Amino acid sequence: MRRLGHDVRVMTLRRPFGKITGDVLITEGVRPTAIGRLLAVTHRCWSAIAASPSILSPPVNTLYSAPDLVIAVSSLVKDLITNKSLILHPRPPELDTLLKFPIDSKMPWVCYSGVFIPIKGVHKIPEIARDVVGELRREVKFILAGGSQRDTLGSYIIKKAHGYGISDNIKIVGRLPRSDLLRLLSKCSVYIQPSLFDAFSIAAVEAAALGSVPVVTKYVGSKDVITKVDANLVTDLNPKSMAKIIIELLNNDLLLRDLGRVVRKVIGEYLSRSNIVRQVSSLIIQCLE
């Protein structure tokens, strides 16, 4: 930003703020963006980041019509914005570290990492697992991190798995320490994100950086990056469609290994620091125009 000669401030509500002035104000989150209406008059340009499912709410969507520019984290979000907008895909903070992880010890595991809430589609995983296990008839495990068997959806998943006769193939490991989670994902062959809506999904990108082949629904924002590897890795919401892709991957070790390496390379290049800096510089220039 200094190279452009502009004073850029990013506003959240994590710390108090006093009088704020400058060239560019960037607000992230619904509440900071609402407050941004008051602070916009002291800046040449006001940009707001749209990065959550809250954009589906009509009042929130209307709020995002106020800034000079909206930064959407994916094409999925951009398509919902009526204001002037552009796409800036988030870069995982630990990406450089993830890209150095060894990925040669892959297991026949399909993994998920994230909260257990309906919009993430985790309740669909037992049905997907049933079709995958039934077709492959070998030791395939679905390992789910981020939730508990005591959660409403966690207990639902266990109950459905028992009903399908695949309780040995689905394991909920809870909320893991960061280092343990990364080690787990580095061993997963496939990462699954069956979301009904996901503005981006950093989790899917992190798993891809660890060599896990991501299979996501068309309502996951990171599909923008994943389709650069193979459009077939993006499916509709039908569990059978997702299961079919997973079966094809686990049935072809060579394809699985090659895609794991390619997706890792694409993530590293597309979300490189230099590429992100270039995009941020471009959006600031556009905001000031």
Tens-digit pLDDT profile for residues 173-184: 999 999 999 999
* Same domain, yes or no: 58 and 99: no
143 and 71 both lie in a single domain:
no
Q: Is 182 found in the same domain as 232?
A: yes
CATH number reported for the structural domain that contains residue 259 in this entry: 3.40.50.2000
**How many domains does one find in the chain?**
2
Report DSSP state, residue 212: P
Interatomic CA distance for residues 27 and 10, integer angstroms:
6
pLDDT reading at 55 higher than 50: yes
Do 116 and 47 fall into the same domain?
A: no
> How far, in Å, CA of 147 to CA of 172, rounded?
7
Specify the 3-state DSSP secondary structure of 209: helix
| Mean pLDDT score, 60-80 | 95
Residue 82 sits in the same domain as residue 120: no
| Per-residue model confidence (pLDDT) at position 4 | 42
Residue 34 structural domain = 2-89+271-288
Q: Would you state the pLDDT for residue 9?
A: 53
Question: What is the model's pLDDT at position 104?
Answer: 85
Query: Which tens digit of pLDDT belongs to each residue from 110-140?
Result: 999 999 999 999 999 999 999 999 999 778 9
pLDDT value of position 241: 96
Same domain, 82 and 190: no
Please count the other Cβ atoms lying within 10 Å of the Cβ belonging to residue 18: 4
Average pLDDT, the chain: 90
CA distances from 153 to 76, 117, 142, 185 (A): 26, 7, 15, 22
- pLDDT value at residue 280: 87
77 and 105 housed in the same domain: no
Q: Are residue 263 and residue 284 in the same domain, yes or no?
A: no
Query: Is the same domain home to 263 and 196?
Result: yes
Query: pTM for this one?
Result: 0.89
Of 206, 143, 128, the closest CA to residue 173 belongs to 143
**In a shared domain, residues 52 and 116:** no
- What's the mean pLDDT in 235-262? 96
**Predicted confidence band at 3 (pLDDT cuts at 50, 70, 90)?**
very low
Which pLDDT belongs to residue 284?
A: 84
Which pLDDT does position 61 carry in this prediction?
94
CA distance 214 to 202: 12
- Answer yes or no: do 198 and 279 share one domain: no
φ, ψ for residue 207, nearest 5 deg: -65, -40
- Whether 113 and 203 map to the same domain: the answer is yes
